[in-house]
């Protein structure tokens, strides 16, 4: 291969600087966070398009900043995990200093935008989620306890509070209820991934549940949290908060989730990798559709 051809081939393989900056924000993860932020705005009322726009922009920047700082803090373990070693820091394409500066910059911009164009409470809640994710989950729990994703996963439950505060200017029991739903969704979602990535987490020394408790106990815990989650999603119908559209959606979506986790449990002595991967991918769709169903039901 000629030098010019090699250079062209290398350029095709190497992401651009802009692509690296985008990857630092983890856009695929943020897409779900935005659903659980914006949908509660429509559950709470009828927000203006400008409010939705600023919450979307601010929410993306805040979550993206947290993800970038997360990559800075996890740069050492990302280098030994197959699914993360091509990220900007372990691959050598970006320096750790550049990554953390980018993360802090866009999180600061998000705080200003949310406080100025939405309200101070929305900005404060978004910033609280940032700090919880960075310091409680990434810095403390992730490397010290198999309960890391249970407690630390609460960071991912802040978006409904942010959306609710943006629409109403306050936090009330309804918004806390949405927070709790995401909180109980997180363990079975993330443990389904951990079951398939035990080797990576073992190399990195991260005490994920399957490595500490074992596969059988982890799957039992997934089943336990999934039952609680589905029960929680149906409960508000009993109090007249949601109607038939939401009830049918919650039951169908919940039944599919429970069925997937049950299948994993039936195979927990072996062969559970493929069904647990299905649970991980489906749980993403499950949460998005559940929150959309809430918003649709309230406006019907």
pLDDT digits (tens, 9 = 90+) for 143-157: 899 888 888 889 999
pLDDT digits (tens, 9 = 90+) for 131-186: 999 999 998 999 899 888 888 889 999 999 999 999 999 999 889 999 999 999 99
Tokens 């999180």 appear where?
107
Tokens 């106990």 appear where?
217
Label residue 59 exposed, middle or buried (CB < 10 Å: 0-12, 13-18, 19+).
buried
Q: What is the mean pLDDT of the chain?
A: 92
The domains of the chain are located at 16-170, 172-300
pLDDT digits (tens, 9 = 90+) for 50-81: 999 999 999 999 999 999 999 999 998 988 88
- pLDDT, mean of residues 201-208: 90
pLDDT digits (tens, 9 = 90+) for 30-53: 999 999 999 999 999 999 999 999
pLDDT of residue 300: 83
Q: What CA–CA distance (Å, rounded) separates 26 from 62?
A: 12
- pLDDT, mean of residues 260-289: 94
Split at pLDDT 50, 70, 90, the class of 13 is low
pLDDT tops 50 at residue 271:
yes
Which architecture characterizes domain 16-170 according to CATH?
A: Orthogonal Bundle (1.10)
CATH placement of domain 172-300: 1.20.120
- Report field, pTM of the whole predicted structure over 0.95: no
Neighbours of 23 (CB within 10 A): 19
pLDDT of residue 6: 42
């Amino acid at each position: 291969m000629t030098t010019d051809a090699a250079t062209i081939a290398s350029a095709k393989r190497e992401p651009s600087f802009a692509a690296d900056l985008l990857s630092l924000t983890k856009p695929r993860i943020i897409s779900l966070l935005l659903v659980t932020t914006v949908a509660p705005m429509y559950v709470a009322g009828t927000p203006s398009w400008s409010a939705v726009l600023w919450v979307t922009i601010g929410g993306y920047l805040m979550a993206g900043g947290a993800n970038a700082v997360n990559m800075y803090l996890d740069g050492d373990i990302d280098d030994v995990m197959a699914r993360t070693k091509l990220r900007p820091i372990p691959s050598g394409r970006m320096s750790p200093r550049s990554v953390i500066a980018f993360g802090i910059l866009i999180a600061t911009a998000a705080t200003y935008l949310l406080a100025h164009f939405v309200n101070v409470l929305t900005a404060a809640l978004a910033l609280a989620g940032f700090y919880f994710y960075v310091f409680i989950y990434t810095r403390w729990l992730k490397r010290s306890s198999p309960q890391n994703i249970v407690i630390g996963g609460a960071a991912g439950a802040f978006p409904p509070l942010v959306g609710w505060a943006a629409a109403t200017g306050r936090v009330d029991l309804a918004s806390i209820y949405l927070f709790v739903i995401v909180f109980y969704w997180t363990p079975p979602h993330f443990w389904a991934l951990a079951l398939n990535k035990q080797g990576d987490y073992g190399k990195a020394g991260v005490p994920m549940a399957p490595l500490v408790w074992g596969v059988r106990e982890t799957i039992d815990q997934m089943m336990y949290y999934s039952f609680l989650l589905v029960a929680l999603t149906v409960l508000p119908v009993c109090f007249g908060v949601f109607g038939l559209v939401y009830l049918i959606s919650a039951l169908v979506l919940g039944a599919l989730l429970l069925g997937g986790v049950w299948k994993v449990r039936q195979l927990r002595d072996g062969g559970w990798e493929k069904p647990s991967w299905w649970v991980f991918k489906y749980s993403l769709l499950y949460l998005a559709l559940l929150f959309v169903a809430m918003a649709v039901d309230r406006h019907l």
